[in-house]
């Protein structure tokens, strides 16, 4: 495997992780009864989405 393939594989893994994190954080943001905690999960889900977009737009 050459260096380009390794980088491509790392990038694919990072994209998958960002997507998974976003989905899980969105799920957390709709659970529980502490609105402040839910808002923080939602905020972090938005950040994960931005990271996903940055990775996929390349």
Determine the pLDDT at residue 1. Answer: 84
1-58 confidence digits (pLDDT tens): 899 999 999 999 999 999 999 999 999 999 999 999 999 999 999 999 999 999 999 7
Token duo for residue 21: 């994190």
Closest CA to 26 of 11, 12, 47: 47
Angle, to 10 degrees, between the axis of helix 3-29 and the axis of helix 35-56? 160
Distance (Å, rounded) from C-alpha 4 to C-alpha 52?
Answer: 20
Domain ranges (residues) in the chain: 3-56
């Amino acid at each position: 495997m050459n260096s380009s393939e390794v980088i491509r594989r790392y990038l694919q893994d990072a994209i998958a992780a960002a997507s998974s994190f976003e989905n899980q954080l969105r799920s957390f943001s709709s659970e529980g009864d502490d609105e402040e905690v839910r808002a923080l999960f939602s905020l972090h889900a938005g950040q994960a989405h931005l990271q996903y977009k940055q990775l996929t737009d390349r």
